[in-house]
Each structure stands twice: as structure tokens, then as C-alpha cells.
Chains A and B, each alone.
Chain A
Amino acid sequence: MKFAYAPESTPLPGYKIKRAIDRGGFGEVYFGIADSGKEVALKLLQHNQQIELRGIRQCLNLKHPNLVALFDIRTDAEGDDWVVMEYVAGPSLDSVLSENPNGLPLPEVDHWLRGISEGVAYLHDRGIVHRDLKPGNVFSENGIVKVGDVGLSKFITPSRRSAQTESVGTVYYMAPEVARGKYGCELDVYSLGVMLYEMISGKLPFDGESVAEILMKHLTEHPDLSRLPAPVRPVVARALEKDPQRRTPGVLHLAREFQGALRGEAVALEIPESHFVDVVRLEIDQSRDVRSTPIPVVVRPETPGPKSQPVTRPQAKPGFWEQFGHELKTNPVLIVAIVVTCIFLFPVMTLGSAKGVMPVWIPGFSTWFVIGALAFWVNRKRRLAGQPHNRSRTRPQPPLPPRRSVNRTGRRDTDRDDQKTGYVERRAETVDRRIPEPVGVERERAEPVSAKGKRAKVYGPETPRFLSWRDRTRELCSALTLAVVWSIVLTSLIGAFQEYLADVPMAQRIVSDSNHAAFFIFTTILGAWAVIVPAKLTEGHGEQSQARWVVGLPLAAAVGFCVWWLQEKLLLQLRVDSVFRGFFEHLGKWDLTSKDGSTPIAGYLAFFVLLFGMGKWWTQADSFRLRRLSIWTVAGTAAFAWLLPLLFRFNQPWGVCWGAAISVVVQLSSPWTRPADRAARVEPVAKTIVAA
């Protein structure tokens, strides 16, 4: 590395340069000795001088044991500006980390964190954001941690918290809001969070092969907390929050939380599930890494050492078949789709059109195929966009930290040593009504108010929440696809078990041949779809029973019509078979039961309209339902279907089977969010409510 000044040169009167120390993003740094013998570091400002000088002038008279002291700003004969500052002989955190690739012992991490946070808190208290916290800027000498490069700091006050043009800091430690150009002290909390993560684990939370990739990860991805010891996970998770408003409120706060976690104290934080990296996606990323052909791109020219190695980024995009191969490995929907396609094709090929199967199989199969393809496409799009996978089904189960002392009101007793405010854990339904706070380390957090005036409650289907159209479509597609699969599985089960029911009175062979099986499969699918589609499209809109019934009942009638049409088409005669005599025979001039013992169209319409009008079927498809599969709901539906022939005679065994099967299929195929994860999904809507 070339430096502008040779040893023994004296560009600044009174100081003799002895050697070059390093080159940072903002200029060269030399070790110099004053005429008196005082050792100093001399920083020559080469780029961005205006910013640098402005920043440094603000900081010139700040004194703190954890900050590298600034002595003077001088201009040499050639008009270059020099900053004269304290020379710190100790190693930088950067070099310490490169000697400890697997992270530092926790007490040592605590030592660094304590020193950095004291120094940075002092800056924050004076309205200054450091903006360039990174291991290369932090030193330890005689057991005292010193934060350097305060020169990059920007003088900000709350009123100036407006858009700032130039990007700042080093990309590995850069908070997401920098990309938007609006930032405050939370920026340093984030950078310190990244450093904390790196000190503990030895790894960067967001690493990549190009600047753009790393920035994108800061913006969209969640750090993999499984590399950290369980007690400190919530602490780091909160420091690395993308939203500055939700981040740990100050650097001192972060240090205190970390110390508390080390002491084993309860931390009133829950890690959002989203902070655990999706294993499936990790696999994809890794396999992409292997494939990529590297071309060198220098990422961090200003920092020497092992991390400044040329970094690479993938050149070729993986081809369709490679993509397909990975999807095959990682996308369960696709695997099921392929298996079921084979199952479908088999009877079509063997039975042929002889039994009139063809006209039913082909449209059914095509519909199903289109939906499956759509599910695959949406999933793929989503993954390529780097968004977390649908966690309700494929999320790995990480070890969760022990549940902590968040009480039912969603409010926690605040830190004992937190004199100013303490913070309040924001639960899902609580909304943070914040005023623009003064720039400081500890900030006032307003009392959370509940959107509905109630405090923490169980989230159910009626809880309003925001679902993006992309999510909605994805969930809908996968639910519709799975409904097909489950219908087939259920029918097979019924087919398998009815042998044993042969002697039971009233038990009737439902799946007696392939036509009956196909009929049952299709009717179950139709019924399930009729529940899932409106439920998914209106999910999260709150309690709107009437509107849902208005949509649901015509759909039920449509299902009834389809069932009737199918049985006509397949030449199946479902005989009326009921233990009850039935109260009605006619509905106006329409027969509900034919004289010949078959059920006419009105019977089917009435049956399905009544079945679907029984209760709030949409709750069975809602991802916030109480249980993934509620046996009681299924039993209740079956019982209701069994009782329906009290009104008019119908084929009771088929009715019961339809009711139970549709209920089971709807529940099994609809995505389900674990109660613990629901809070995270509710929050955005609470915000919009308050904004409105």
C-alpha cells in the first residue's frame, strides 16, 4: 500500500511522521511525534473533506475515556487538512476478531460492549451519531476500550433528522434505514448489534458476495440467531430490528440487556420467529454459492486484513432445470404435485373413457394442475425475492429461549436500573404512539394503547390483520392444492376402513368402485374449495359474518348443483337412506326427495346450503384458528350432517362423510399460524388503524 508521506517527513510544522498506520475510507493515518516527543496519530483528510471537517470540529472538545481524543485540526502548506489525535497503541477489535475466528469469550465481549456503549452513549448524549461504528474503529489499550474515527460523525438534532444524501459507514455494519437516508442514534445501535453478533459468534450476521447483496440482506433478511447462545438471542434480535422504532432504544440499553442476559436475568423480549433463518432457504443459498462462478469485486478497500480479500459474486443465474431440481428438493408442494399427477394419470390411462370417467377427470385434473403450477410459481418468486418462506408449515423449530416475564397485559416491569423510562414490550395489539423523541440515548416511549381498548388477548380468526396479496395468493394456492391431496388421502382412508363397517347397520359402502371414489373425491374437493376461497380472500378483515354468509351460501348452492350434476354425469344413483323420516318432502313446488328414492337437484342444493350455513366455516380455513385440526369441529359438522335428514330424507352416510371430510380437508390444507407467531402478523394492521 502506497502512502503519500514518507517517514521523517514533516508536512505539518511541529510534527514528524515516523510511519504510516493505515488508510481509512476518509484518508491516511500516520504515526507522528511532536517536536516535544509526544506521540500522536495524524490523519490526512483526502476525500469528503467538508463532511469530515464539519464532523470533527463538532467533536474536537469532547472528552471521554472511551473515545479517541482529538487534539487539533491543522492545515499544511499544500492546503491539506490534518487531524491531530491521540495515538492508541492497542489492537483494534478488527485484529482481535481476526485472531479469534470463532468469537470472543462472553466476558470479553462484555468488556468491549461496555466500553463502546459508554463512548457512543456520550456522543449520543451530545447529539452526535457516530455513523461508522465497526471493529476497525474500536481499539483497546490498557484495558480501556476506545472508539475512534469520530470524525465521520454527523451532527444531527431531531429537527435535522431529514433525508441525508450520502451513504455512510461500512456496509457490513450499516443499518437498513441508511438506504432510505433517514437515520438517528438507532443507526449506531444497529451497528453495535452487528458487532455484538460478530464478537459472540465470529461471523457477520449479513455477509455476501457483493455490496448490493449485503445491503439487500440488511434490508430484507433476518439474522440467524441460532449461532448465538440462547440467553442473548433476544438482545441481539432487538438490536438488529430493521425498524429503528422497534430497535433497542439506546446503546447503553443494549449493553445493560446483554449484561442482564449474561447474568441469566429475564429479558422481557420475545424473538420474532422471523429471526431464525429458514433452513430451506439456507440450503438454496448454499447450493447457489457452490454453483456461482466468481468474479472479483473489491468490497472493503479501506480496511486491510483478512476481510479485505477480494469478494466475489455469482455471475450466472441458475438455469430452469437447476431451479427445478432445487425446488424438487425443497418444495413439498411440488413433490406432492408430481406424485398426485402420477396417481391421477394412472386411472385415466387404465380405465379410459369406458366408464364415462374421462369427461370428469380431465377438467378436474387440469384445474388442479394449474393451481399446483401457480403455487410453485408463487413460491419460487417469493424465494428469489429473498423473503422468508411460509413459516406456518416449513419453518424449522429452533430452540426457543425460555418464556419470559411478559405479563398478560403485555407490559413488563421495567429495568430496575433504568431511571428514565424503561421500555414497554410491544405486543401485537398494542400500538406505539411515539412522539419524535429528542436525540439521546434513552428515549421516552409512550404508553402503548390497544387498538380496541383491550389488552393482550388470544388472536383468533376475527383478529384484524394485514395480509399482502402475494401472501394471500400463495396461501390460497397451496391450500387449494393441498385440499386435492387430502381429499384423495381421506377417500382412500374411508375406502380402506369401510370394509370393517360392513356389518354395522346403516353403514354403506361409499367408495365401492372407482366412479364412486372419484365422485367422493371431487365433491369433497369442491366443498373444501368453496370454503377455502372466500375464507382466504377475506381473511384478516375482522368479524364480518353477514358478508361472509352472503358470499358463502351461493357457493354452497353451487357445490350442491355440481354434486347433483356429477352424479347424473357419472350415472351414480345415491339412494335415499336415512334413519329419520324427514319433515319436509317438498320445498314449494320442488321435490326434496323423489318418489323413486333418489335425490333431485333441490335436495342437493338444500343439503349443501344447510350444511354450509351451519356455522362459521371460514374459521376452519383461517390461519388463526384455535388448532390446526380440531376434532370437535369435525365431529360437530358430522353430527349436524347426520341430523339434517330430520328435515328431509337424504343419503345419510354420504352426508355425514361429506360433512366430516370437507371439514377435515379444509383444516388440514389451510395454513395455520402458531399462536406464538401470531403477534408478529397482527402488528402492521394495528399501525394502519392508528394512522387512520
Chain B
Amino acid sequence: MSAEEDLLGATAMFTPAGSYTLWIDQVGAYVVCLADMIAIGGPSTGVNAADVPLLANLSRRHITFLRSGERYVLHAHAATSVGGRPVNEKCDLADGAELQLGTSVRLRFRIPSVVSGSARLEFLSDHRPASAADGVVLMSDTCLMGPSAENHIRCPAWPSSLLLFRRDGNLRVKGREDLFLDGRHSPEGGILVEGTMVSATDLRFRVERFA
């Protein structure tokens, strides 16, 4: 076992929470990953499966994103290139980097907002997880959902942005709109758990655990 894997294994033990899928009306399904370390790989049902397994010809854990502070480091466990250049073990990621995993999987790494350290993975090739997902958010402290391009999850028809944030180990939501959580009025920082439905006049989404 290399020192690298040691490190990764140790970090994995502190994963605060898993991943959620947000089913957003008129937008799509987005996977929000809360852990600081997210592995992406091929299809697997085993214990060592990736956090986001894609239906693609990849290693079981092909790459790992590691967030430390504002930085994102990509650890490549199999053939990977960033911006056309092969990655040898690891490399820093910048906004807009294009990743190629194996021969055919292509992803784009984005940090759309300057006020948040969260990142978004866009699927450039047609490889997706087995269950529906239109994008993956690697969420640090906050995740913005709203109409403009600076949001992590772009919801063009929404009147204003919502903020997902962590507090006291919970995932919470707040926004300018009058929000209802499962039909109950929740003006400030309602807690999102599996199955919560968030709605306002012009928006609606449901939180599910990402399978």
C-alpha cells in the first residue's frame, strides 16, 4: 500500500455525509457530494465502489478529487489526462479544466462562483451514473442554485438563488423566496434530509440519497 492510498484511506474515514441527488423540476437531477474526497470510477456494486460510479469502461476507482481548503487536487489511479496532458499521480485543478478518463469519458471541472469553494463536474461525453444525473457538485461549505451562470446548479426559470449550506453537521437551505419544506413554511435555514421536498412559488425540488 502506497503512502498515497494510506492518505486517501485515512481521509475517507472522516467523510461527514454521503451524497444526495436533488431532483429539480424543469432542471434535472444533480448529485451533491458532501465529502472532501470523492472517487469516480466504473460500475461496481462492491464495498470499494466509487462515490460516483459511471457506466463507463473505467477502473473501479479511477480518480479521486481531494479538496483541501480552496484547492482541488486530482489523484489519478488510472489513465487520466487534464487539458490533454496525462496526469502522473496527481495534479491541481483549475476552473474549466477538461478531464479525460480512460479512452472515452470526458468531464469538465468548474468552480462557477468566486464566493464559494464548491466545484461542479459536467459530463461532456454521454457517460452517466447508472441512475439519472445531469451533473455532480463537489460541495464544500455552500452550494448555490439559481438562474445565473455563477450558480453551481443552474436553474434558468427560477426567480432568485437558493443557498444550500452546512451547519451543525446538517445540510440546510435558505433563500430569498418563501420556502416550504415538505409543505411547512421554513423561512430560514431549514434542514434537508433524505426525502425533503423544497418548494416555493416558482420552484420545487426533492432531496434523495444518491444510490
Contact = CB atoms under 8 A, between A and B. Distances in A.
B148 to A, nearest CB: 13
B85 to A, nearest CB: 26
22 contacts: A1-B26, A1-B157, A7-B204, A7-B206, A8-B206, A18-B23, A18-B132, A19-B28, A19-B205, A20-B25, A20-B26, A21-B25, A21-B26, A31-B29, A31-B132, A39-B132, A142-B126, A143-B126, A304-B26, A304-B156, A304-B157, A305-B157
Contacts of A212: none
A19 B29 contact: yes
Contacts of A141: 126
A6 interface: yes
B25 A1 contact: yes
A3 B25 CA distance: 9
Interface string A3-28: 10011100000000011111000000
Interface in B117-160: 126, 128, 131-132, 134, 156-157
Main secondary structure of the interface of A (DSSP, over half): loop
A488 to B, nearest CB: 64
A19 B156 contact: no
Interface of B: 23-29, 126, 128, 131-132, 134, 156-157, 197, 202, 204-206
Contacts, number: 49
Contact of A1 (B24, B132, B202, B205): B202
A692 interface: no
Contacts of B157: 1, 304-305
A89 interface: yes
Which of A33, A89, A305 counts the most B-chain CB atoms under 10 A from its CB?
Answer: A89
Contacts of A18: 23, 29, 132, 206
Contacts of B28: 19
Nearest to B202: A1
B126 A19 contact: no
Nearest to B131: A37
Main secondary structure of the interface of B (DSSP, over half): loop
Given A19-B25, A21-B26, 15 more contacts: A1-B25, A1-B202, A3-B204, A7-B197, A7-B204, A8-B206, A19-B27, A19-B28, A19-B29, A19-B206, A31-B29, A37-B131, A39-B132, A89-B132, A304-B156
A6 B197 contact: yes
Nearest to A143: B126
B181 to A, nearest CB: 13
Which of A7, A18, A22, A39 counts the most B-chain CB atoms under 10 A from its CB?
Answer: A7
B156 A305 contact: yes
A18 B195 CA distance: 11
A31 B27 CA distance: 11
B50 to A, nearest CB: 19
A33 B28 CA distance: 13
B23 A19 contact: yes
A6 B206 CA distance: 9
Contacts of A3: 25, 204
Nearest to A20: B25
Nearest to A3: B25
Contacts of A20: 25-26, 204
Nearest to A17: B23
Contacts of A305: 156-157
